[in-house]
Amino acid sequence: MTKLHSHGSSLPIPSFPHSLIAASPAPPFTITMGRMDRPALCVQCRARPVDPAWRPFCSRRCQVFDQARWGEGAYRVPGRPAAADDTDPSVTDGKQYQVPIIDGTIRATDLKQIKVGDEDVGLATYDPAFMNTAACRSRITYIDGDKGVLLYRGYPIEQLAEESTYLETAYLILFGELPDERQLAEWTHQITMHTMVHENIKKFMEGFTYDAHPMGVFVSTVAALSTFYTDGKQIFDDQARLRQIHRLIAKVPTIAAYAFRHSIGRPYVYPDNELSFTGNFLNMLFKMTELKYQPNPALERALDILFILHADHEQNCSTSAMRSIGSSHVDPFSALAGAAAALYGPLHGGANEAVLRMLKEIESTDNIPAFIKRVKAGDGRLMGFGHRVYKSYDPRAKIIKKAAYEVFEVTGKNPLLDIALELERIALEDEYFVTRKLYPNVDFYSGLIYQAMGFQMDMFPVLFAIARTVGWVAQWEEMLLDSEQKISRPRQIYTGAQPRDYVGMTERRK
């Protein structure tokens, strides 16, 4: 058994007690290695516990697979021969190891000193989906999920959504401080001057069929930018790197708008440099025959707020993909295409679409009690509630809910709003959901707003990608400049066959 002994009090983190933030080193743990009675595992997959007195396999599938490999009754542990030491989980008793605690963490490589044999490479940690692993140090975004806190560079998301603009927030995320008037003017000018895309990009996008998913078009086109801007490979040249950041933030709205227009069979609309970042995006989306498109101020501001709320969110799936791909020192266009592809998945960027489908399925407020009953019985899921990080009300959800009413004053109320409000009320009062800390998240209302503004549901992840681009490139640059970072290469636990000789076709078992 492994015992952890603390030689001091917990880390002095007065404001954020549940989080991994930089602090003075704490006294180290002493790890004592001893005997542990571990549960028996399936001899084939080595993943699920079994009762060895009944059978050594967790399923019929594992039994058939193992017998096909080794023969009936020849039970083997994948990766090594069956031996007495496999059933004896004891390790050397009494050894102690000092493991320092820094910033509320221990370094995984410090565990390599713990070995149970002369040929052992050292202890590793097993953490599927990175549930309790910090892969980097970051100064960009802070989240306290228990308290519902989200900070960009130390600034509360509520204040930024109320006072800032997307481009100002983007500057903050990238450079660490809010810009002064001169800096903001120069930053806005650089983004505005890079909104145009090469005419061959337009031709490239025209090659997609009319019903191609806009996110698939977006991912492919962003990747294609790497062939147009070959200086993107100069990732350690400060000026070249900043130039690619300008290009990406400026061009992703243009690509997204072109993908939208392509999907509905309308001609592409060129950027209007006299409009704001979100105003220009609305122009490229919805301009018809008028000489000058004038965005509605309420919709323009609502979109700005939505982009601020989605600008970054710590080490999520797509951000981790951006860092991992970028660690190979590929150009940022290719890395961002990979991050956007991760966002394409329904568990990440498609959550607000799932909320709308759920609300449409409910149809009426009268059907909510029956729907809630089915969810409790395990026959359905309450979409838009709960979050991997937040164990209280998602702070972004409160802001979006307020913005939704402002949008509906312009567009008219979304017919699904009454269902959403009643569903939220019931869920927040129901002990079943409260005890499980299932509160509305950012996706619960964002889909309603996007739909009211005229976006079809397959555009939702594209809108998410526009907003998240600044977070991706900020995290990418931080990774590049971090001297501790190397190419991403996680360890694995091998559960396959032990070494064996090649078997000829005629000798293989059917």
Q: Which of the residues are catalytic?
A: 348, 387, 443
CA gap 302, 407 in Å, rounded: 7
CA gap 450, 330 in Å, rounded: 33
* Pairing assessment for the beta strands 2-6 and 26-33 based on DSSP bridges: antiparallel
Residues 6+ apart with CB under 8 A from 448: 355, 356, 404, 414, 416, 417, 420
CA gap 311, 171 in Å, rounded: 11
What percentage of the chain's residues is helix, strand, coil (to nearest 5)?
Answer: 50, 5, 45
CA gap 165, 194 in Å, rounded: 19
Other residues' Cβ atoms within 10 Å of the Cβ of residue 492: 7
Q: What b/e readout covers 377-414, taking b as 16+ CB neighbours within 10 angstroms?
A: eeeeebbbbbbebbbebbbbbbbbbebbeebbeebeeb
DSSP letter for each residue of 306-326: HHHHTS--SS-HHHHHHHHHH
User: What DSSP designation does 49 have?
Assistant: B
CA gap 412, 415 in Å, rounded: 9
Length of the chain: 510
DSSP letter for each residue of 201-250: HHHHHHTS-TTS-HHHHHHHHHHHHHHH-GGGG-TT-HHHHHHHHHHHHH
CA gap 324, 328 in Å, rounded: 7
Closest CA to 409 of 335, 290, 329, 302: 302
CA gap 390, 68 in Å, rounded: 46
Q: 265-272: long-range contacts (C-beta < 8 A, 24 or more apart)?
A: 265/210, 268/202, 269/293, 270/196, 271/195, 271/196
